[in-house]
């Protein structure tokens, strides 16, 4: 007869492997002078349109590049390529989120100049990406006006894991009777003092403020002199 089972105390972070890779990426980005912005949102919140606009507006002034994650198709990469910025698709197959190792692999065989801004568009999903650090400097969570003001309350974990909230498709606000004040209150409820921006990639409303915000964060991170735009 074998002995009774006993309880061994251990302490092991389950996502340790991802965190190790993410930490190495963060150190590398810091050393290379790359400011990394990741984007998370539900499917259809306008990540790709917003990113295309961002790349187009930033590209004349900064070296920019983007990695874009999707379960299948290269459609988003093709759309983003219209900005003439280097873009690479990460196809995850059945995986519902990006992991740090996928970012590392995508960068490994990518022959492009070291960007000053690297954007990582996560798979459209408001649940799974929240657990995975990608080595980013800034995580943006997008909320489109068509989704309803209570999205932050329904998905508090991802809003809490993000640094900045971006309300997108503001040009449609009136048509869908979007209550912006309520959306802001809900964002603040799950993440007090969170920085919040409002944009329309279609009309360009709010984009100058957003770009200024990115420029300031870039300047803070690398102690460079003032804005270039």
Partner 1 sequence: MHELSIAMSIVDMALEEAENRGVAIEGVHIDLGWLSGVVADALLFSYEMACSGTPLEGSRLVIREVPVEIYCATCKAQRALNSIQGFCCPLCGAPASDVIHGRELAITGLEVRDERPTATIGST
Token pair in block for residue 100: 């740090």
* DSSP character string of 107-128: HHT---PPPSEEEEE--S-SSG
CB 124, min distance to partner 1, A:
14
- Is 185 a binding residue for partner 1 by CB under 8 A? The answer is no
Q: Is 5 in the site for partner 1 (CB under 8 A)?
A: yes
Cα distances from 192 to residues 38, 62, 141, 149, in angstroms, run 20, 32, 15, 16
Token pair in block for residue 176: 């869908």
Torsion of CA 7, 8, 12, 17, to 10 degrees: -100
| Minimum distance from residue 141 beta carbon to partner 1 (Å) | 13
- Choice between 17 and 73, CB closer to partner 1: 17
C-beta of 128 vs 219, nearer to partner 1: 128
Task: Report the candidate in 80, 116, 139 with the shortest Cα–Cα distance to residue 89.
Answer: 80
Among 78, 189, 205, 229, binds partner 1 (CB under 8 A): 189
Q: Does residue 60 interact with partner 1 by CB under 8 A? A: no
> Binding pattern to partner 1, positions 13-42, x when CB under 8 A?
xxx-x-------------------------
> Nearer Cβ to partner 1, position 172 or 194?
194
Q: Does 225 bind partner 1 (CB under 8 A)?
A: no
Least Å distance between CB 85 and partner 1?
29
Q: Nearest to residue 214, comparing CAs of 121, 136, 138, 120? A: 138
CB 123 within 8 A of CB 71: yes
Q: Total binding residues for partner 1 by CB under 8 A?
A: 35
Interface with partner 1 in residues 97-156 (CB under 8 A)? 97, 127-128, 130-131, 153, 156
- Helix axis angle for 207-222 and 47-58, nearest 10°, is 70
Which parts of this chain interact with partner 1 (CB under 8 A)?
Answer: 2-15, 17, 95-97, 127-128, 130-131, 153, 156-158, 160-161, 188-194
């Amino acid at each position: 007869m074998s002995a009774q089972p006993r309880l061994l105390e251990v302490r092991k972070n389950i996502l340790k492997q991802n965190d190790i890779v993410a930490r190495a990426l963060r150190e590398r980005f810091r050393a290379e002078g790359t400011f990394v912005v990741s984007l998370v949102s539900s499917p259809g919140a306008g990540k790709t349109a917003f990113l295309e606009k961002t790349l187009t507006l930033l590209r004349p002034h900064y070296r920019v590049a983007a990695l874009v994650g999707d379960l299948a198709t290269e459609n988003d990469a093709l759309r983003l390529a219209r900005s003439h910025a280097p873009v690479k698709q990460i196809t995850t197959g059945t995986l519902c989120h990006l992991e740090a190792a996928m970012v590392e692999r995508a960068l490994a065989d990518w022959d492009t100049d070291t960007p000053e801004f690297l954007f990582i568009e996560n798979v459209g999903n408001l649940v799974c990406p929240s657990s995975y650090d990608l080595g980013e400097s800034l995580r943006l969570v997008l909320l489109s006006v068509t989704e309803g003001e209570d999205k932050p309350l329904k998905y508090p974990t991802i809003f809490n894991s993000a640094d900045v909230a971006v309300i997108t498709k503001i040009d449609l606000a009136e048509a869908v009777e979007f209550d912006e004040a309520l959306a802001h209150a809900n964002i603040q409820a799950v993440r007090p003092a969170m920085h919040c921006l409002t944009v329309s990639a279609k009309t360009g409303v709010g984009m100058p403020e957003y770009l200024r915000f990115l420029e300031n964060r870039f300047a803070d991170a690398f102690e460079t002199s003032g804005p270039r735009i």
